[in-house]
Structure 1
Amino acid sequence: MIDLVSRSAWGARAPRGAYGALTSTRGVKIHYTGGHVDPRVLDDHARCVSAVRGIQNGHMDGNGWIDIGYSMIACPHRKVFVGRGPGHLPAANGPGLNSAHYAVLGLVGNSGLVQPPNDMLLGILDAIDYLREHGGAGREIKGHRDGYSTDCPGDALYDWVRAGAPRPSAEPSTPPPPAPEEETMPEIVSLGLSAEVIVPPSKDYQPWWDLEWRDTAGWHPAGGQSIAPSRDVWADVVAHVALRGLVPGERVELGLTRHQPDGSLVDIAWPIGRLLSVHADVDGRVETGLGGHFKLDATARGRVTIRHTSTGPVTLETASAFKAILHPYA
């Protein structure tokens, strides 16, 4: 029997508009996050809940969708989160592809937790059965990459899909040891001024750090400026960065992160619980924007963080960010 986690139970935000109706499909498309999934979710279901909320925030605030894009989400504890749910058009399959299949996410990524444990596979199958019973889902089980140019759902899940999505043993699986939580890409810079600034809650947009021109020697360490509100708040952050001097094709990670006042990482808040991964162009340059909506308190400061592995001289051409302290929360 399916172990559903209702939208109210995982703290879902209300959708911004009405879903399109979906009464029947050819089946389901299987997805993964495409980024880093903290292996600690295996032992802490609360981290699964936090990850799903982060995914919704990324889809609504980063992608501009009306809600989380998936129909259902399966975590490593054989629990199935209700996303858009049965009868509603998903948004995650790609333009023109959402009416043919529901979208089911397995909570694994391309780093950290990459191998779906048996209980996650069983949860995906539970979600499929549920969508067949309550949403008219057809018999097809496909990967997101079937018909759309993407690496999703990752090799591990896609191999399982191509094998016919067999039902594994109900015994808890023992996945291979995850990579150490020390990131393979060290934290190079936290953008901002040299000291954090305490700001009172406000409903008005306030500059966090406005514009900086920095060469490699001027980059700030992990103890740089944070958003440090004087009380618990929800905050919106939008930022823009440009780097040059990278190796063409080099991967760069950036996003919003939450840290303790001593600089230690709490979690990655955007996008969808992971850092955004981009690649340098043929001129060795990266320019991108990001934004997100996340919770800050007296023990969790917010930052913009960049990671890369280049050993040569890299210049941070521009860095701008603005925050809005939306409202206090209880």
Structure 2
Amino acid sequence: MAIDLVTRAQWGAHAPRGSYGRLTSTRGVKVHYTGGHVDLAILGDHSRCIAAVRGIQNGHMDGNGWIDIGYSAVVCPHRKVFEGRGLHHLPAANGPGLNSDHYAVLGLVGTSGVVMPTPNMLHGIRDAIEWLRAEGGAGAEIKGHRDGYSTDCPGEPLYAWVQAGAPRPATTTPPVEPPEEEEVPEVVSLGLEDEVVVPSARDYQPWWTAEYRDSAGWHPAGGQSIAPDADVWADLVAFVALRGLTPGEAVEIGFTRHLAEGTLVDVAWPTGRLMTVHADADGRVEANLGGHLKLSAANRGRVTIRHSSANTVTLEVASAFKGILHCYA
């Protein structure tokens, strides 16, 4: 089994301050997120991932009083699997009385900054799960932290992916056909592989250049929109980060509905208007979007950015995620 494992020695882990409880087998693995801010800089600088894992260990040992980092493994956006407590060792992150049932795997996403798992991170989480199964006695279950403990963890994007069966990104593994049910859970995600300049026109729809699962053809023409072939409600989340604005300058961002040829039908986020965000002192904007979007066979959903800056505005990060879809009459 191939896994890009970063050992404790390689990431500079502190020695544990005591002995772990031993696991011979578990029911499976629970997936976690940080629950806080994850610096966007880790997306382009793997050394910052190493620093982030060290910071998590410090927080668990010095803040929580645990003997070590609480996770069995940590996965970064570059498909690196950091050895945490590792194989056959009791984790501490699942909650009191729950740690012996499942290993704990953290994806380096949070509630701000990096909020969307990259395709490589999803691959890495699957790599970690298969490693724990093959060498650590982990069972078949893949669950979210919230499935056993009252928490928002692992966040909506990761949890929707877990509920969909934690599929490998479709770029390398053919998608699994969803079950035939009246309401079918679907998970698709779009991302931006390279930075692009946002034109100074009033309307711009990011040209999403990556996707990890699209079993029903929801991303036509390169994946820049979500276009169903039936009438549905779509639970959508998105994250964008821009730079190059004048400090304090306003940018409008939100979900919109369009006809197939691109004509704007209406502004849908969240109540018929776009969200206004102002650039910080460095001329940057970060925005998280969430909404319940009604789509049809005639309409497709997009994320729209509007600005009127005279500067060159660059889109650094763009991720969109569709969670559960519900058909309506």
TM bracket (short chain)? 0.5 to 0.7
CA displacement 1:163-189 (0-9 Å, x = unmatched): 1111113579735654469xxxxxxxx
C-alpha change, 1:180 and 1:12, in structure 2 (3 Å) is farther
Q: Match for residue 92 of structure 2?
A: 91
Q: Match for residue 185 of structure 2?
A: none
CA displacement 1:70-95 (0-9 Å, x = unmatched): 00011000110000001000000000
Q: Match for residue 67 of structure 1?
A: 68
Separation (CA, whole Å) in 2 of partners of 1:134 and 1:85: 10
Does the aligned pair in 2 maintain the 1:75–1:120 contact within 8 Å?
yes
CA displacement 1:113-139 (0-9 Å, x = unmatched): 100010000000000000001110000
Does the aligned pair in 2 maintain the 1:71–1:84 contact within 8 Å?
yes
1:41-56 correspondence runs (5 A): 41-56=42-57
Separation (CA, whole Å) in 2 of partners of 1:135 and 1:2: 14
Separation (CA, whole Å) in 2 of partners of 1:122 and 1:168: 7
Separation (CA, whole Å) in 1 of partners of 2:62 and 2:124: 27
Query: Alignment partner of 1:132: what SS?
Result: helix
Q: How many matched pairs?
A: 184
C-alpha change, 1:16 and 1:27, in structure 2 (3 Å) is same
> Within the alignment, does 1:174 sit opposite 2:191 as a pair?
yes
C-alpha change, 1:93 and 1:180, in structure 2 (3 Å) is farther
Aligned structure 1 segments of 4 or more residues deviating by more than 3 angstroms: 169-173, 175-181
Separation (CA, whole Å) in 1 of partners of 2:47 and 2:94: 27
Separation (CA, whole Å) in 2 of partners of 1:125 and 1:37: 21
Separation (CA, whole Å) in 2 of partners of 1:180 and 1:93: 35
Query: Alignment partner of 2:85: what SS?
Result: coil
1:297-316 correspondence runs (5 A): none
Does the aligned pair in 1 maintain the 2:107–2:125 contact within 8 Å?
yes
Pairwise CA RMSD: 2.2
Superposition TM-score, scaled by structure 1 size: 0.53
C-alpha change, 1:18 and 1:173, in structure 2 (3 Å) is farther
Q: Match for residue 126 of structure 1?
A: 127
Separation (CA, whole Å) in 2 of partners of 1:63 and 1:140: 27
Separation (CA, whole Å) in 2 of partners of 1:77 and 1:169: 17
Separation (CA, whole Å) in 2 of partners of 1:56 and 1:20: 18
Q: Match for residue 40 of structure 1?
A: 41
Q: Match for residue 273 of structure 2?
A: none
Separation (CA, whole Å) in 1 of partners of 2:93 and 2:80: 20
Separation (CA, whole Å) in 2 of partners of 1:41 and 1:170: 23
Residue type matched to 1:150 in 2?
A: T
Query: Alignment partner of 1:56: what SS?
Result: helix
Superposition TM-score, scaled by structure 2 size: 0.53
Q: Which structure has more RCO (C-alpha within 8 Å, separation ≥ 6)?
A: 1
Q: Match for residue 138 of structure 2?
A: 137
C-alpha change, 1:53 and 1:180, in structure 2 (3 Å) is farther
Q: Which runs of 5+ in 2 are unaligned?
A: 173-188, 193-237, 244-281, 283-329
Does the aligned pair in 1 maintain the 2:116–2:239 contact within 8 Å?
no
